[in-house]
Amino acid sequence: MELRHLRYFVAVAEVGSLTVAAKRRLHTAQPSLSRQMSDLEYEVGAQLMVRTARGIELTAAGRVFLDHARLVLAQVEAAREAARRAAEPSKPSFAVGFLTGQEMDWLPEAMRILRDELPNMEVTVSSQYSPQLADALMRGRLDVAFMRPEAQTPDLVYRLVTKEPLVAVLPDDHRLAARDVIDPRDIVGETFVSVSNTAPALRVVINDYLERSKLNITPDHEVDNLAMAMSLIASTRGVAFLPAYARNFMPRSVVSRPLKGDAPTIDLVVGYHKANASPTLKLFLSRVDELITRGRRS
């Protein structure tokens, strides 16, 4: 078995077709990929996929193997990054990631904490979606990230920063904008804007809230990012439930209102890889409470 097998398998599993995976993802030929997958199954000693006229479907063993294969490939990337880091000790780096939109609230505090370290190291800052932040932490590309607690990340440790309430976001001339507080039942019949799987944790919170409110609302739109959300809210006169920090992105024609009653919250956490032995990370974590205290906004 070689990493090539794992790479091929992950691609095939994700695409669901040898032909398409060969052509679109792996730039190889379908017969070659077919043989590689057969070789892999022979070496694992289990059938990983069922071939059908419509493509492939993973077996139970295949699904188990897929999780492991992804982990292995992530570990290989982490190995490479870790070796590179170790090879360049001249000016250590500390990489901080932010859930897009959270930089405004938390970057100043994070930099204040790291102030004393700054002359001796290179702090890099980036912003991404939460799943990508999780992936970067897993791969060793980030030391710490302000993110959502992502599922199925056993090697990541999360420290709660704040529980952020969701608010209703809607056009400023919407009939509901006259309310000081929005009852979720008022949303029935309105154009509803939700989020895609680029924000799985938020999606779960929104869906749970709708269920808790006994509302069977199917989203009219699902968006990938806040800018798109604002645009859709304004242009389709829709309503969305978004974390409060989304107010940082509202154009003039869009307003926010609190939700009535027990508003749902979503966690913002500081995440890091538990195997990360960086002394700067240790310092950072030791002052996280201070950052949280100073950084909170009601």
Site residues, a second copy (CB under 8 A):
1-4, 6, 43-48, 59-65, 68-69, 71-72, 75-76, 78-80, 82-89, 154, 274-275
243 binds, among a second copy, DNA, none (CB under 5 to 8 A by kind): none
35 binds DNA (CB under 7 A): yes
Which residue, among 281, 278, 257, has the nearest Cα to 186 in the 3D structure? 257
239 near DNA (CB under 7 A): no
Q: How far apart are CA 268 and CA 158, in angstroms?
A: 9
Find out whether 161 and 292 touch, Cβ atoms under 8 Å.
yes
Whether 78 and 136 have beta carbons less than 8 Å apart is answered as no
Which 47-106 residues touch DNA, going by CB under 7 A? 51-56
Are 56 and 50 a contacting pair, CB within 8 Å? yes
272's tokens: 């890091």
Q: What ranges in the chain are assigned the alpha helix state H?
A: 3-15, 18-20, 30-44, 60-87, 103-113, 130-138, 200-212, 226-236, 279-286, 288-295
89 binds, among a second copy, DNA, none (CB under 5 to 8 A by kind): a second copy
Q: In whole angstroms, what is the distance from residue 106 CA to residue 272 CA?
A: 16
Contacting residues for 112 by C-beta, under 8 A, at least 6 apart? 291, 294
- Report, in Å, the least distance between residue 89 CB and DNA: 22
Q: Does 240 bind DNA (CB under 7 A)?
A: no
What are the residues facing 158 on neighbouring strands?
A: 271
39 near DNA, judged by CB under 7 A: yes
Residue 35 or residue 296: which is nearer to DNA going by CB? 35
What size, in residues, is the chain? 298
In degrees rounded to 5, what are phi and psi of residue 255?
A: -125, 170
- Name which of 26 and 145 has its Cβ closer to DNA: 26
Instruction: Tell the residue number behind the tokens 């704040």, with chain if given.
Output: 162
Q: Which is nearer to a second copy, 42 or 185 (CB)?
A: 42
Q: How far is the CB of 87 from DNA (least distance, A)?
A: 16
Q: How far is the CB of 90 from DNA (least distance, A)?
A: 23
Question: Does 188 engage in binding with DNA (CB under 7 A)?
Answer: no
Say whether residue 24 binds DNA (CB under 7 A). Answer: no
In the complex, the smallest distance separating the C-beta of residue 11 from a second copy, rounded to whole angstroms, is 16
Nearest to 164 by CA among 278, 256, 60, 82: 256
Question: In sequence order, what are the beta bridge partners of 150?
Answer: none
Q: How many residues bind DNA (CB under 7 A)?
A: 24
Q: Please report, for residues 42, 104, 109, the alpha-carbon distance to residue 99 in angstroms, rounded to integers and kept in the order given.
A: 42, 10, 15
Q: Is 3 in the site for DNA (CB under 7 A)?
A: no
Q: Is 149 in the site for DNA (CB under 7 A)?
A: no
The residue (of 47 and 236) whose beta carbon lies closer to a second copy is 47
Choose the contact partner of 86 out of a second copy, DNA, none; CB within 5 to 8 A by kind.
a second copy
Choosing from 6, 11, 13, 37, the residue that interacts with DNA (CB under 7 A) is 37
**What's the min distance (Å) between Cβ of 169 and DNA?**
40
**Interface residues toward DNA, by CB under 7 A:** 4, 17-20, 22, 27-32, 34-39, 51-56
